[in-house]
Amino acid sequence: MNRHAHGAALLMAMAIMAFAAVAAAAMLVALSTWSRQSGLTADHVQAEELVIAGGDWTRAMLYDDRRASGEVDYPGEPWALRLPPMPFENGELAGHIDDQQGLFNLNNLVQNGKLDVVQYAHFQRLLSILGLPAALADALADWIDADGVAQPAGGAEDAYYAALGHPYLTANRPLIDLDELALVRGFDPDVRARLAPFVTALPTTTALNVNTASAEVLAAVVDGLDLDSARLLVAARSGMFYRNNADFLSQLGRNATVPESDIRVGSDYFLVTLRVTYGKTLARGQLLLARTDATHWPEVVWRKTR
């Protein structure tokens, strides 16, 4: 082999070695990335399983609460306490339970596919208390009711939504959850954020739990009760709770009235919010629970995890 041929062979061998080194390095990086991703995936799966386990734990707690305290629910009970995160090996679990019948149920607006004028008036009052346009009640009623006739002030039926840039139709059924409000005319992010602490969307018509309702919701539902008087009721409630409707009604002034069918001192629906950290991953979950049968654990109406 002459000198030129030898030099060319050496360069070729060096090039092959360099290519092999680069390929080996790339394989090691890919293997390391796969290993980390596999670990993260396993951690996330474990975290989601712990969210489900946490949900079962809250179901058991609410079941025991119904057996222990009957039909009365108030903020001093164990289910309502905000507990610190509970640590466990390689992570922690945090969460809380919120009574949903202390909120205004937006699905009360429509009964059997038709507008309930009393509940409509209550929602308009709540909107006024919160400084929001009354026309929002018309848009929401049209979204839920079964007919195709738009309400006179701010209503919106299929023709309105079909003309949008991304057209769709009205639901013509009760809301599934509050996220659906993003589809309803006028319910922009600011409106939804203002409403969120005071409203809910439950699968059935519900009475208001006067033991957990805010002053704003009480003033909206009880005719003749102004916001200041409602705040006094809430302040007085901090040291006690109403054992029955008569207890609550006895605290109202002469001009304040509410049908007993619209109020109660207990709840059937609860929202559970959970957060689990496991290893380097975080999982969150929410469950809407329905506690309608005292002999069984609460049912899961819907579940969200992420």
What CATH number does residue 246 fall under?
Answer: 1.10.40.60
My answer on whether 10 and 39 are in the same domain is yes
Angle between helical axes of 135-144 and 117-129 (0-180°, round to 10): 140
Measured distance CA(162)–CA(168) in Å, rounded: 5
Question: What is the structure's pLDDT at 288?
Answer: 97
Question: What is the structure's pLDDT at 31?
Answer: 39
Measured distance CA(271)–CA(269) in Å, rounded: 7
- Tokens representing 269 are 């629906």
Lowest mean pLDDT across 8-22, 113-127, 236-250: 8-22
- Give, for 273, the enclosing helix (H) or strand (E): strand 269-278
- How do residues 247-287 score in pLDDT, each as one tens digit? 999 999 889 999 999 999 999 999 999 998 888 888 899 99
> Quick check: 300 and 285 in contact, CB under 8 A?
no
My answer on whether 53 and 151 are in the same domain is no
**Average pLDDT in the 101-130 region?**
97
Residue 281, CB half-sphere, CA atoms under 13 Å: how many?
20
Lowest mean pLDDT across 37-41, 48-52, 153-157, 273-277: 37-41
* Percent of the chain surpassing pLDDT 90: 67
- Tokens representing 182 are 């993003």
**Average pLDDT in the 121-134 region?**
98
pLDDT averaged over the chain? 87
Lowest mean pLDDT across 152-166, 168-182, 203-217, 280-294: 280-294
Measured distance CA(274)–CA(234) in Å, rounded: 27
My answer on whether 213 and 115 are in the same domain is yes
With cut-offs at 50, 70 and 90, classify the pLDDT of residue 40: very low
- Tokens representing 100 are 């949903």
My answer on whether 158 and 221 are in the same domain is yes
Question: What is the structure's pLDDT at 38?
Answer: 47
Residue 255, Cβ density class (10 Å: 0-12 exposed, 13-18 middle, ≥19 buried): exposed
Measuring CA to CA, how many Å separate 6 from each of 10, 15, 46, 281? 6, 14, 60, 56
Measured distance CA(243)–CA(264) in Å, rounded: 9
| Bigger pLDDT: 186 vs 13 | 186
My answer on whether 93 and 119 are in the same domain is no
| Count of other CB atoms within 10 angstroms of residue 28 | 10
> Domain range for residue 30?
3-100+268-305
My answer on whether 85 and 199 are in the same domain is no
- How do residues 42-81 score in pLDDT, each as one tens digit? 777 777 788 888 888 899 999 999 988 889 999 999 999 8
My answer on whether 274 and 231 are in the same domain is no
Count how many domains the chain has: 2
My answer on whether 283 and 172 are in the same domain is no
Comparing CA positions, the residue from 302, 273, 274 lying closest to residue 196 is: 273
My answer on whether 26 and 96 are in the same domain is yes
Best mean pLDDT range from 32-41, 141-150, 274-283 = 141-150
Comparing CA positions, the residue from 188, 123, 115 lying closest to residue 152 is: 115
With cut-offs at 50, 70 and 90, classify the pLDDT of residue 25: very low
With cut-offs at 50, 70 and 90, classify the pLDDT of residue 86: confident
**Which residue reads 């009623």 in tokens?**
141
My answer on whether 254 and 281 are in the same domain is no
Q: Report the alpha-carbon angle 288-291-295, nearest 5.
A: 145
My answer on whether 116 and 201 are in the same domain is yes
Residue 199, CB half-sphere, CA atoms under 13 Å: how many?
28
Comparing CA positions, the residue from 259, 258, 252 lying closest to residue 233 is: 252
pLDDT exceeds cutoff 90 at 146: yes
132 DSSP 8-state letter: -
My answer on whether 252 and 275 are in the same domain is no
- List the CATH number of the domain containing 7: 3.30.1300.30
The C-alpha torsion from 170 through 172 and 133 to 162, rounded to 10°, is 10
Cβ neighbours for 229, distance < 8 A, ≥ 6 positions apart:
219, 253, 256
